[in-house]
Amino acid sequence: MLVEDVMSTDLVTCDVGASVREAAERMLRNRVGSVIVVDGRTPAGIATEADVLHAGYASDEPFSAIPLRRAMTSPVATVRPSVTLRTATDRMRSEGVKKLVVTEDMRPVGIVTTRDIADNYGQIRREVRDLAADATNWSNRGDRR
């Protein structure tokens, strides 16, 4: 199964020059746990609910006074839509993240999260089982020669 099979394409973005308040407002309005921070059309980082809360707590300033650039994680971990979910989960593990921005030609086209992968776990298991059965059938055909 590929990243493009499970990724979300309804992206919520925020300009790199925005405030933490603007990012929080977009997350709340769209009921998502993160915003992709963009500089023009290029992903510059990602800001999660935890990033926003931490920035507010650590600075003791109003959210509107905190630059999003200070709260976001950068550089953003990315993956192509054509890679396997195994590659994506390996990347998440190595980067220590729960979300990967899916890019094509350095432009965000989606986001894949651990939740997306968990929600598709049954389909992934069926795909693996089918691959194993195909391999067994292929192997058995070779024994008859």
According to the model, what pLDDT value does residue 143 have? Answer: 54
Q: Among 99, 104, 115, 114, which residue's Cα sits nearest to residue 36?
A: 99
According to the model, what pLDDT value does residue 133 have? Answer: 74
DSSP designation for 38: E
**Looking at the 3D structure of the chain, how many domains does it have?**
1
DSSP 64-122: GGSBHHHHSBSSPPEE-TTSBHHHHHHHHHHHT-SEEEEEETTEEEEEEEHHHHHHTHH
According to the model, what pLDDT value does residue 120 have? Answer: 80
CB atoms within 10 A of CB 92: 19
Strands 34-39 and 42-48, sheet pairing: antiparallel
pTM for this entry:
0.80
Question: Domain range for residue 70?
Answer: 3-143
CATH number, domain with residue 59: 3.10.580.10
Written as tens digits, the pLDDT of the chain (145 aa) is 899 999 999 999 999 999 999 999 999 999 999 999 999 989 999 999 999 999 999 998 999 999 999 999 999 999 999 999 989 999 999 999 999 999 999 899 999 999 888 888 777 677 767 677 766 767 666 655 4
